[in-house]
């Protein structure tokens, strides 16, 4: 497993013109599906 894996997350509609977001914290243990 690579340390730089890319994962796509679907977000609710954030409003007009917003196309991306940033994850500020990760609350799941490494390896948890």
- Quote the pLDDT of residue 1: 52
- Quote the pLDDT of residue 27: 86
Helices (H), 1-33: none
Phi-psi region of 24 (alpha: psi -120 to 50; beta: other; left: phi over 0): alpha
> Does the reported pTM lie above 0.85?
no
> Distance between CA 11 and CA 23 in Å, rounded?
11
> Distance between CA 21 and CA 9 in Å, rounded?
10
**pLDDT (tens place) for every residue of the chain, 33 residues total:** 556 677 787 878 878 887 788 888 888 887 877
- Quote the pLDDT of residue 17: 82
- Quote the pLDDT of residue 2: 55
Phi-psi region of 17 (alpha: psi -120 to 50; beta: other; left: phi over 0): left
């Amino acid at each position: 497993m690579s340390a730089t894996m890319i994962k796509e997350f679907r977000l609710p509609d954030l409003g007009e013109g917003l196309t991306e977001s940033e994850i500020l914290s990760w609350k799941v243990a490494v390896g948890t599906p």
